[in-house]
Amino acid sequence: MEGLAMLGQLIGQIQDLLQLHGSPPPPPPPSHFRLLQPHLHPDDHHRRWCLHNVDYTSTDHYYSLVMAAGKSGSCKMLEPFEPPGPPPSKKSRKGRTQEKLHGSTAIPEAEVMEQDIWKEFPEDLLEAIIARLPIASFFRFRSVCRKWNSLLELQSFSQHCAEIPQGNTWFYAFTHDNVNSGTMYYDPSMRKWHHPAYRPTKMIALPVASAGGLVCFLDIGHRKIYVCNPLTRSFKELPTGSVKVWSRITVGMTLNGNSTTGGYKVMWVGRDGEYEVYDSVKNSWSRPGRMPSNIKVPLSLNFLSQAVSVDNTLCFMRSDPEGIVSYNMDTGVCKQFIIPAPLHLSDHSLAEWKGRIMLVGLLTKNAATCVCIWELQKMTLLWKEVDRMPNVWCLEFYGKHVRMTCSGNKGLLMLQLRSRQMNRLVTYNVMSREWLKVPGSVVPRGRKQQRVACCIAFNPCLTATA
């Protein structure tokens, strides 16, 4: 009882001090007792704090409370204390996993799309958005519904596609597999293969030229030429021409303008200088012609010789004498340029980038082999080396008999390097001068890696029609 009396005296002194100096209330104490709000006297409006419901059996708690208030010089109202519950039980791993799944899949009401609103979404705006999707994404979207699958048949969608600049170059490849599944696409921007690609015929037809999203195929065995869009499967068999020896011709292709809406032309040139031009608008071949007398024949061409187009002019590489033969598809003018090839050059091909003519080939000296890139200097008509494959890669060719084929379009080349111990694909970007190894390709649900036999570069286009 003596302790309670001393406690009551101390409380009274603290209340007098608070009333005299008007200090702010004390901080919340760490106990389960509650302080009530201050009583304001109407006369002096001074704060006066009081404690209620003092339990005389717990004087030690009150003493610590008052001592803490006296040290801080302030006191605040506390909320009633609730005794702590039992500790949370440990959940099983399965329970925690289900809780995470439910938490991650829960969608707030504000984020749920209302069907009534999206039903009124403008069709032309939707077509404009879909037309700007990447090619691979577009074909996945076509499988959503019949309406989206029929977009390619709409004139309005074709107009939206025509407004978009041509995308990245793809490669259309043939493999050493059977006729049905031996084709595939390669997207260099994603470094990914797509299976299977469309094949226009089950015959042995090799891709020899491309323009504006269309690819031209040559069927030597059946003496036929096909043109198709490998993405949309628009296909056309060209009328029979006057080709005599099909294995001794090279084929080139150009557009009548900037897109296939104006048509296209296909030209074949024989080793003896004979040639013929097909016009898709007229759906016929022109009369067979011959190169001017100042162009020396034979041209040493075959169906593997790659022609490149610079605007509306086709360029063919020739040998003996070494140089380039060009043919203007609009005017019919044919020219010859004598350009000596670099020393120790083999397996060389022409390429084009922004109107510049490039040369790609193997330089072999002694036992060392390297891939080099040259650019034709228009003033001097000489080849100038601009880049070569990294030395680390070239060391792998040392002492090996390496062969190379090149396919390129618009500054992106694919090189196929092969020997008895190696079969490698490499891409080269003319603008960035970047060399990249092409990843291997495995057919879906298969284990065997596909080996590319030949390929052609083309610009994927959804609206190009054969």
Q: What is the pLDDT, as a whole number, of residue 79?
A: 41
Residues 356 and 208 grouped into a single domain: yes
CA distance to 1, 171, 321, 355, per residue, from 407 (Å): 105, 8, 24, 17
Residues 143 and 282 grouped into a single domain: no
Residues 272 and 129 grouped into a single domain: no
Are 360 and 317 a contacting pair, CB within 8 Å? no
Give the structural domain span for 160.
119-164
Residues 257 and 387 grouped into a single domain: yes
Please check whether residue 73 lies inside any domain of the structure.
no
Residues 232 and 140 grouped into a single domain: no
Q: Give the model's confidence band at 75: pLDDT under 50 very low, under 70 low, under 90 confident, else very high.
A: very low
Please check whether residue 90 lies inside any domain of the structure.
no
Q: Give the model's confidence band at 39: pLDDT under 50 very low, under 70 low, under 90 confident, else very high.
A: very low
What is the percent of the chain with per-residue pLDDT over 70, rounded to a whole number?
A: 70
Q: What is the pLDDT, as a whole number, of residue 252?
A: 92
Q: Give the model's confidence band at 373: pLDDT under 50 very low, under 70 low, under 90 confident, else very high.
A: very high
User: pLDDT tens-digit profile of 153-164?
Assistant: 888 888 888 788
Please check whether residue 341 lies inside any domain of the structure.
yes
Q: Give the model's confidence band at 264: pLDDT under 50 very low, under 70 low, under 90 confident, else very high.
A: very high
User: What CATH number is associated with residue 447?
Assistant: 2.120.10.80
Q: What is the pLDDT, as a whole number, of residue 362?
A: 93
Residues 216 and 292 grouped into a single domain: yes
- pLDDT over 70 at 375, yes or no: yes
User: pLDDT tens-digit profile of 319-337?
Assistant: 778 899 999 998 889 999 9
Q: Which of 107, 132, 164 is the last residue of a domain?
A: 164
CA distance to 205, 292, 429, per residue, from 224 (Å): 9, 27, 33
Helix (H, G, I), strand (E, B) or coil at 116: helix
- Count of domains observed in the chain: 2
Q: Roughly what angle, to the nearest 10 degrees, separates helices 2-21 and 59-72?
A: 20
Q: What is the pLDDT, as a whole number, of residue 420?
A: 84
Q: What is the pLDDT, as a whole number, of residue 9?
A: 60
Please check whether residue 261 lies inside any domain of the structure.
yes
Non-local (6+) Cβ contacts of 342 within 8 A are 359, 361, 363, 372, 374, 383, 385
CA distance to 29, 31, 33, 77, 148, per residue, from 82 (Å): 14, 11, 10, 16, 62
Best mean pLDDT range from 179-183, 358-362, 441-445:
358-362
Q: Which of 136, 164, 192 is the last residue of a domain?
A: 164
